[in-house]
Every structure is written in structure tokens, then in C-alpha cells.
Amino acid sequence: MAIRTLKPITPGTRFYSVSAFSEITASKPEKSLTTPIKKSGGRNNTGRITSRHRGGGHKRLYRIIDFKRDKKGVAATVTTIEYDPNRTCRIALLTYADGEKRYIIAPSKIKVGDVLMSGESVELRDGNAMPLRKVPVGMFVHNIELKPGKGGQMVRAAGTAAQLVGMDGGKAQLKLPSGEIRLVPGDCMGTLGVVSNTDHENVLYGKAGRMRWLGVRPQTRGMAMNPIDHPMGGGEGRSKSGGGRLHPRSPWGQLAKGLKTRKNKKASSKLIIRRRK
């Protein structure tokens, strides 16, 4: 999982770095576990742009990932470790003893030939999945469910892991990568270990065109606009925040720094022991 830098033969490659992909063992995905994926361009069902600066990008196939890990008590062998264009981490193809194949988010220490399982009483090794109430305090987990049986929703990005810091009344206390400590029901499943591709955060994209490959379109600063286009636009010469009149905000007037936007979260607020800020 090393980082490979390129020789600066062009301006774009001067600051360019890319993953070495040394852990990848297959170049093509399992055909039965792929499905077409349609790009939205940041538009909702009425055709209006609701998420700006999205569009284009390379064509992708979606890999169907087993976030639930609900095939319990059946041994699975790691067949391949593959690149997934839809996420930052690597994925692993598991072949179960009954012949079924499934993709999972690959932990950082697994390799081809390893045997993984999920269930109540499985070996404490990276890649095995179990309820959080069965995980020893202090261990790192990822792909964590918020509701039992719903499938992993938290801690799925490259190089991330949550630490189990205690159990309280049937709920697990987890320290998340953001620093937040929150309660999660003990029956929720989690996978042991740290998510693979830990060097992802050190990759330098090097040029704007590479971001276009990922479907990210250019963004114009509000300060560079006219007052009719943005609250922070205009002013004689360069001026911070709309001629010095306004704090940083969105094109629609929403404050950009420090404004609390969390609403209707009464149920989940009770589960947060320490906030990330």
C-alpha cells in the first residue's frame, strides 16, 4: 500500500502521486457481483442541481458489497483483493464453503488464502465480523451497523477504524475516527481491523484533470463573483466577504463557519457521549 511518485516530465506530473497497487491481485471484477451505475450529475429527480460541481468522470461498474456480513458460521476464503473505483479502500472477494461469492470491504492485514468468518463466537482476527458485544474492549472495528441487521454504515473509508472503549447497558461505546464517542447497540455487527489502503490520504492528485476523472467539476470562489451572483462578491478591488460586510457564507446566505445545522436528531443526540468538536 505504498505511494508511487512520477518523474516531473510534465507540469501535471510534477506533484503527482498514485497508489502503488501492490496488494491488488485481480484486474477484472467478478461479473456476477457487478451492476451498471448511472451518474446523476448532482441533479435530483426533478432535474435540478442539488449538489454542485459534479459531472463527467470515468465510466464505472458498481461492485455489490456485502455490508451486512450475515452469512454466519460459514467459512470463506479470500480469493482476490481488488481495486474498487466507487470507494477509497480495497475490496476482497470471498468464496464461501458452499460456493457463494461475495465482496467485502478489505481490512488492511488480510491476504489471498486467508479464511474469514462472521458470527457470535469467531476467532479474533482482522476481517472476521461479530456483534459488538462480543468484541473485547480496546480492539479496532470498521463497517459498523447503526441498527442490527441493516448493514454497516459507519467507518468504511480507507485507513479508518473505530475503537471499542467500553460497554454500557447493552450498548457499545465507540470512539469514531472523527473523535466522537457514541453509543451503538451491542447486537450491531462490526468487522475487526482497520480498513485497507491506509496511504490514501497521502496521495496527491497533482492536476485538475485528475479530479475531472473522478467526476469533480471546477468551483469558482464566491469572492471572485459579482454581487448579483454571490453574497461575498463585488467590492472595490479584492475584499474579504462581500466588501467587508459579511461573514463567509454560501450563495444562498447560509453561514459557512460555525453555524449548527443539525436538526431533528433528538433520538441520536442521546447516543452521543462526546461530540467531535
The pLDDT, as a whole number, for residue 242 is 54
Confidence of residue 107 (pLDDT cuts 50, 70, 90): very high
Q: Is the pLDDT of residue 230 over 70?
A: yes
CA angle 36, 107, 136 (to 5 degrees): 130
Read off the pLDDT of residues 161-186 as tens digits, 9 standing for 90 and up.
999 999 988 999 999 999 999 999 99
Domain(s) labelled CATH 4.10.950.10 in the chain stretch across: 222-271
The pLDDT, as a whole number, for residue 143 is 98
The pLDDT, as a whole number, for residue 124 is 96
Q: What is the average per-residue pLDDT within 80-102? A: 97
Q: Is the pLDDT of residue 31 over 90?
A: yes
Higher pLDDT, 28 or 235: 28
CA dist 212 → 30, 185, 216, 220 (Å) = 27, 40, 5, 15
Read off the pLDDT of residues 241-273 as tens digits, 9 standing for 90 and up.
555 567 889 999 999 998 988 887 787 888 999
For 59-62, which contacts have Cβ atoms below 8 Å and span 24 or more sequence positions? 60/85, 60/86, 61/29, 61/34, 61/35, 61/36, 61/37, 61/85, 62/34, 62/35, 62/36, 62/37, 62/86
| The domain made up of 222-271 is a member of CATH 4.10.950.10 | yes
- Backbone φ and ψ for 33, nearest 5 degrees, come out as -110, 20
Q: Which three cell numbers stand for residue 37?
A: 451505475
The pLDDT, as a whole number, for residue 244 is 53
Q: Is the pLDDT of residue 1 over 90?
A: no
Domain(s) labelled CATH 2.40.50.140 in the chain stretch across: 3-201
The pLDDT, as a whole number, for residue 245 is 65
Mean per-residue pLDDT over the chain, rounded: 94
Confidence of residue 20 (pLDDT cuts 50, 70, 90): very high
The edge-to-edge listing of strands for the beta sheet with 76-82 is 101-105, 91-96, 76-82, 115-116
Read off the pLDDT of residues 59-86 as tens digits, 9 standing for 90 and up.
999 999 999 999 999 999 999 999 999 9
CA dist 108 → 44, 96, 151 (Å) = 36, 20, 20
CA–centroid distance for 98 within its chain: 30
CATH number, span 3-201:
2.40.50.140
The separation between the first and the last C-alpha atoms of the chain, rounded to the nearest angstrom, is 31
Q: What SS3 state is found at 102?
A: strand
Give CA–CA dist 205/188, Å, rounded.
37
- Percent of the chain clearing pLDDT 70 (strictly above): 97
The pLDDT, as a whole number, for residue 247 is 86
Give CA–CA dist 136/70, Å, rounded.
21
The pLDDT, as a whole number, for residue 232 is 87
Q: Are 142 and 194 in contact (CB under 8 A)?
A: yes
The pLDDT, as a whole number, for residue 241 is 53
